[in-house]
Amino acid sequence: MRNLFFGLITTVVLSSCNTRLILQGAGAPSSGERLPGKYAPATPDTEENTDPLKLVSIYMSGWSACGLTPEKRTYCWGARPPGWRDAGYDLPPYVLASEWRFESLASTGDAACGLDMNGKAFCWGENEFGALGIGKIGREYSSLSPKEVSGGLLFSTIKGSGSHFCGLTLNDQTAYCWGANTDGRLGVGDELPRGTPTAVAGGMRFKTLDAGTFTCGIAFDDRLYCWGNTAYITVRFGSLASEYISNVPMLFEMPERLVSISVGSASACGLTEEGKAYCWGYGVHGQLGSGINDVTKIPQPVSGGLRFSDIQLGSYASWGLTLDGKVYLWGMNILGDLNPAMSANEITNVPIEVPTALRFSRISGDAAGVCGLEKDTGLLYCWGNSYDSKLFVKQAAAPGSQVGTHVPTLVRIRKELLN
């Protein structure tokens, strides 16, 4: 079985028979603000001093990834995990201190938020545009330590992307957003950043929502609303770029009732109660899965008649998790690492199954890679290209080169971080 180690690789030895990963952790930072937790040790990783990483949820976004263990501990890793401002690439994985126990997480790549058992939100990382929600805006207020979100609200869910977060309140499911407000993605009626959770215009109650470069939510009347830069998903406006921007929720007509919505950088996908998928938006690389390679502003059913429990959207590819735990990819197979059933950079506009005997309960992916939790054990497997260390694989011998694993590969973590 292949393994990925939770550290930084200094040497990669490839042969026709196997892949050997010789790893070196980076250790704690030598100066500056310290994280309230543990870092991957700066000593070589081996199978003897590591264990497989078991998670109950996984969140990949932007520069980094975070996951929750069954004990509700938080692990983050990647090129620039939340909080590592101005630090560059190849930083050590870390685990938050044991007093921080969260029920769910959300990440924008440069900031992350967690909800505790009561629905209280805490955020850490970059605060240039107010993503921490602490009532202040500016990089000088960035923090490696989780900070309580201001306003006293309790949330049932929280989603993040592009330096902004949106959450649904625990008591009545109304939407509040904060952080960067580029193109009106907060839905508050203007394009000014917010350092405090601010109610989305209209006062609607939502069953669920998701955040990308724009934001969408399914209201209690089962209608879909989106706000922000919806240039690739709407036919309602004119030809000028500014005419595709809505800083308040805008109604979208759907062919069927949706129960979940996934938002990417320029496309969206929704699932019906039966698991039927509809996608629309930017699909030049086949990432809509509807059999065409073009921009489609009318929701189209994903080809193949598959039934999904989740869909993840990247810039060039999309992944679907079927009800029986299989993973399918459609779009561009970046560098050949996303699906071994396809050649490097091959484009498919219909779903193609990732060939593996593993079955997954959850997946999370972006343009370069995907991770999944094995259905029966919760063990973390990742595959894809790892130019940003998000998948824990890095070829340091040749700067600028990229290496990854094109098959689902078990991730291992230092035992010191598990304790």
pLDDT score recorded for residue 63 = 64
Chain-centroid distance of CA 10 in Å reads 27
d(CA 56, CA 174): 27
Q: What are the distances in angstroms from CA 223 to CA 218, 298, 352?
A: 6, 15, 30
Tokens 């497997």: give the residue.
381
Tens-digit pLDDT profile for residues 383-409: 876 544 445 443 322 333 344 567 888
Q: Which residues of the chain have pLDDT under 50?
A: 1-32, 87-90, 237-240, 387-390, 392-403
d(CA 90, CA 34): 17
φ/ψ (deg, to 5) at 101: -120, 120
Task: Quote the tokens at residue 397.
Answer: 């011998």
pLDDT score recorded for residue 27 = 47
Tens-digit pLDDT profile for residues 351-388: 999 989 999 999 998 766 788 999 999 999 888 765 44
Of 142, 130, 143, give the one whose Cα is nearest residue 177.
130
Q: State the sign of the Cα–Cα–Cα–Cα dihedral 147, 53, 61, 219.
A: negative
pLDDT score recorded for residue 79 = 60
pLDDT score recorded for residue 121 = 98
Of 234, 235, 175, 238, give the one whose Cα is nearest residue 210.
175
The pairing of beta strand 143-148 with beta strand 121-125:
antiparallel
Helix/strand/coil (H/E/C) assignment for every residue in the chain? CCEEECCCEEEEEECCCCEEEEEECCCCCCCCCCCCEEECCCCEECCCCEEECECCEEEEECCEEEEECCCCCEEEEECCCCCCCCCCCCCCCEEECCCCCCCEEEECCCEEEEECCCCEEEEEECCCCCCCCCCCCCHHHCEEEEEECCCCCEEEEEEEECCEEEEEECCCCEEEEEECCHHHCCCCCCCCCEEEEEECCCCCEEEEEEECCEEEEEECCCCEEEEEECCCCCCCCCCCHHHHEEEEEEEECCCCCCCEEEECCCEEEEECCCCCEEEEECCCCCCCCCCCCCCEEEEEECCCCCCEEEEEECCCEEEEEECCCCEEEEEECHHHCCCCCCCCCCEEEEEEECCCCCCEEEEEECCCEEEEEECCCCEEEEEEECCCCCCCCCCCCCCCCCCEEEEEEEEEEEHHHHC
Long-range contacts of 249-252 (CB under 8 A, 24+ apart): 249/187, 249/200, 249/201, 249/202, 249/204, 249/217, 249/225, 250/225, 250/226, 251/223, 251/224, 251/225, 252/216, 252/223, 252/224, 252/225, 252/226
Task: Quote the tokens at residue 75.
Answer: 């692990």
pLDDT score recorded for residue 384 = 76
φ/ψ (deg, to 5) at 140: -65, -15
Burial bucket for residue 43 (CB in 10 Å: 0-12, 13-18, 19+): middle
pLDDT score recorded for residue 418 = 74
**Residues forming beta bridges with residue 280, ordered by sequence position:** 268
Q: What are the distances in angstroms from CA 261 to CA 11, 274, 312?
A: 41, 14, 10
pLDDT score recorded for residue 48 = 82
Task: Quote the tokens at residue 230.
Answer: 């919806």
pLDDT score recorded for residue 17 = 29
